[in-house]
Amino acid sequence: MKKSENVLSLEASGSCNSTIADLIMMVDISGSVLDSIVLDRSFIRSVINGFPIDGKNLRMGFIVFSSVCKTLVPIEKVYPFVL
């Protein structure tokens, strides 16, 4: 698979252990971007692994959408992430 020009590269630039935040990931799973799903999973994994998601200082929600929107991980829950 060829890397898309609009894919961002992530680099760690310090720690955010003292920051209180909610992180919401929204992923387009419509037919128009189906070819990039594998690449998106890699990108999502690298984003998730870059944050100390503990449910106290940082919470994460995960939403996918195409013609409808579905919340996969509500922000008020704490789950181990497996991608």
pTM to 2 decimals?
Answer: 0.50
Residues 49 and 37 sit within 8 Å (Cβ to Cβ): no
Looking at residue 76, what DSSP letter applies? Answer: T
Task: For residue 63, count CB atoms less than 10 angstroms from its CB and return exposed for 0-12, middle for 13-18, buried for 19 or more.
Answer: middle
Residues 1 and 38 sit within 8 Å (Cβ to Cβ): yes
Question: Rounded CA gap, 78 and 36, in Å?
Answer: 27
The structural domains of the chain, with segments of one domain joined by +, span: 21-73
* Range 10-27 average pLDDT: 66
Question: pLDDT digit string (tens) for 32-69?
Answer: 665 665 556 777 788 777 777 666 777 777 787 877 77
Q: 69 or 6: which carries more pLDDT confidence? A: 69
